[in-house]
Amino acid sequence: MKTIDELLRQGVEGKRVFVRADLNVPQDGTTITDDGRIRAVLPTVKALAEAGAKVVVASHLGRPKGAPDPAFTLRFAASRLGELLGRPVAFAGDTIGSEAHSAVAGLENGQVAVLENLRFNAGETSKDDAERAEFAARLAALADVYVGDGFGAVHRGHASVYDLPRLLPAYAGYLIATEVGVLRKLTDDVKRPYVVVLGGAKVSDKLGVIDHLLEKADRILVGGGMAYTFLKAKGHEVGISLLQEDQIPVVLDYLARAEKRGVEFVLPVDVLVSPDFPDLKTKAPAHPQTVAADAIPADQEGLDIGPKTRELYASKLADAGTVFWNGPMGVFEHPDYAGGTKAVARALLDCDGFTVVGGGDSAAAVRTLGFDENAFGHISTGGGASLEYLEGKTLPGLAALED
């Protein structure tokens, strides 16, 4: 994989450099609530601009239906990018139309433009190779060089991620190079004990990574909504908690395999429950109660790991040589159910090993709950991409950069 450093050594002054970023940030109206992914691409954009390139930044945002949708505009992300760069950033109101061509044509050396949401075009995500290739060709007309730096999208075989880098000289940006280096430490160069912490809503989202990590991890700690499928598999009442009953046979197989291989599989011993899901808008008091994990009332929902589980998980992380954490332990967006996620984050900070926060909601939780990002070994920008890499899958966006 050729990197941006090689490109910079060759010289980029006056060249139009297409940067496929990941500006898929959460927004509340016109306000960006977490700019972590914008900040993650800054080193690449800044290096190219300072070297005199004409930088064309493109990204997706959300899941529009292949047509313009004001709810998913990148205009506010472009504005925030300009604030962080400390320089004006042009914004094109389309992706391959007249505004895009005009914005790129108007760039002076060292200037930056952001194109409108790639997914406003059906060709970006099309499963039809010809339609995707046509869109990629029209994007290629805007640039001389491609730099892939949208790690959060590299597991997608989309036009700007997979097809476009095959049409232009292609290089990996700083973010992708860093992410890949970190993930290799989680697969090829692991310091033990290797502890994996998995949370989030659905066990089905993590099946592949559990299957793969059963061959590598020493301990797997489970929390979040996915924990209740494991508890149900062990014969416990889970009330109205999140449950994927169809996954119970798979879960039982994983528990049996873990025992056979000597992998410590740790489940909650107590949980916070409530008969009502908390109001995340007003953050009104939820008045949870703590119950044993094998004694959840039939009319209650588990919404966070309890205090005994927090202590247990912290003890299981204390001596770790490597930690990978993906998924919150509860409904961290509400203060009454943020304690479990906070406890895991603090345990990672107290751990002397190499700690990786695997993107998505975990990364958002770290920032939302006020932790210093720099205190962790690495915070990934791509939850789905990280998981698929750890599953051993080939990621289209990385494969295209390696060709």
Cα separation values, 291 from 226, 261, 272, 299, 300, Å: 18, 31, 6, 13, 10
| Candidate list 200, 223, 360, 383, residue with the active-site label | 360
Strand pairing partners for 274?
301
With the C-alpha atoms ordered 210, 211, 216, 217, is the resulting torsion angle positive or negative?
positive
Q: For residue 90, what are the CA distances in angstroms to 87, 103, 105, 136, 402?
A: 10, 7, 11, 22, 31
Q: Check whether 216 is labelled as a binding-site residue.
A: no
Contact 58, 139 (CB under 8 A): yes
- Residue 223 counted as an annotated binding residue: no
Collect all residues with Cβ–Cβ distance below 8 Å to 383 and sequence separation of at least 6.
152, 326, 358, 359, 360, 361, 362, 363
Ligand-binding site membership of 362 (annotated): yes
42 in a labelled binding site: no
Is residue 156 annotated as involved in ligand binding? Answer: yes
Q: Annotated binding residue at 61?
A: yes
Would the annotation count 37 as a binding residue?
Answer: yes
191 is catalytic: no
DSSP 8-state assignment for residue 333: T
The answer on whether 206 is annotated among ligand-binding residues is yes
Q: Residue 60, annotated ligand binder? A: yes
- Respond yes or no: is residue 37 known to be catalytic: yes
Verify cis geometry, omega within 30 degrees of 0, for the bond prior to 88: no
Task: Indicate the length of the chain as a whole number.
Answer: 403
Cβ atoms 323, 351 nearer than 8 A: yes
Which phi and psi angles does 86 have, rounded to 5°? 75, 30
CB 280 within 8 A of CB 331: yes
Asked if 346 is an active-site residue, the reply is no
3-state secondary structure of 114: strand
CA distances from 40 to 20, 22, 400 (A): 12, 9, 21
Is 377 annotated as ligand-binding?
A: no
Q: Which residue has tokens 């927004």?
A: 27
Q: Please indicate if the annotation marks 63 as binding a ligand.
A: yes
- The number of helix segments (H) and strand segments (E) in the chain equals 15, 17
The active-site residue out of 20, 37, 54, 219 is 37
Q: Are 85 and 109 in contact (CB under 8 A)?
A: no
Catalytic residue among 75, 202, 216, 308: 202
Distance CA 300, CA 288 (A): 10
User: Does the annotation count 152 as an active-site position?
Assistant: no
Is 16 marked as binding a ligand? Answer: no
Question: Considering just the CA atoms, what is the radius of gyration of the chain in Å?
Answer: 22
**Catalytic one of 223, 239, 384, 397:** 384
Is 85 annotated as ligand-binding?
no
| Residues of each annotated binding site for (2R)-3-phosphoglycerate | 37, 119, 156
| Residues of each annotated binding site | 22-24, 37, 60-63, 119, 156, 206, 302, 333, 359-362
Which are the catalytic amino acids? 37, 202, 360, 384
| Residues of each annotated binding site for substrate | 22-24, 37, 60-63, 119, 156
| Residues of each annotated binding site for ATP | 206, 302, 333, 359-362
